[in-house]
Amino acid sequence: MAIEESLAESKAFDARIARTLFVGLVVSIAIMVLGLVLAALRGHNAVQHVLPLADVPLHLAHGDPASVLDLGILLLFATPLAGVVIAAAQFARERDRQFLAISLVLLCVLCVGFIVGLRGL
């Protein structure tokens, strides 16, 4: 019976991760398509430049198509990060120290990658 419960928990965990990745992908693509539609409607070439991260909220408030595209890209980048966070939380609940450590190392690597990417180093 314990094996069946463990298998059911494992399937639920896998489904949670898969759902997170799928929803993140679909939402980010939808936002990017919205940005392209806005650009087409307004006659802008939104793919010509990328806004600095600090400028995205201000430009979003004004409905700038380039900022909508940038938001979609940021969400696309954040999706795997969310999956790793969910995995780490699950491994912590299960008290699986080995996989928790691996998840935390991966989380650190992703965060360092984002920081380096944002700073342009």
User: pLDDT by residue (tens digit) across 18-36?
Assistant: 999 999 999 999 999 999 9
pLDDT at site 2: 66
pLDDT at site 47: 63
- Where are the domains positioned within the chain? 2-119
DSSP secondary structure, 40-103, as one string: HHHT--TTS----GGGHHHHHHTT-HHHHHHHHHHHHHHHHHHHHHHHHHHHHHTT-HHHHHHH
pLDDT at site 83: 92
pLDDT at site 57: 81
pLDDT lower than 70: segments of the chain: 1-2, 46-50, 120-121
pLDDT at site 12: 87
pLDDT at site 1: 55
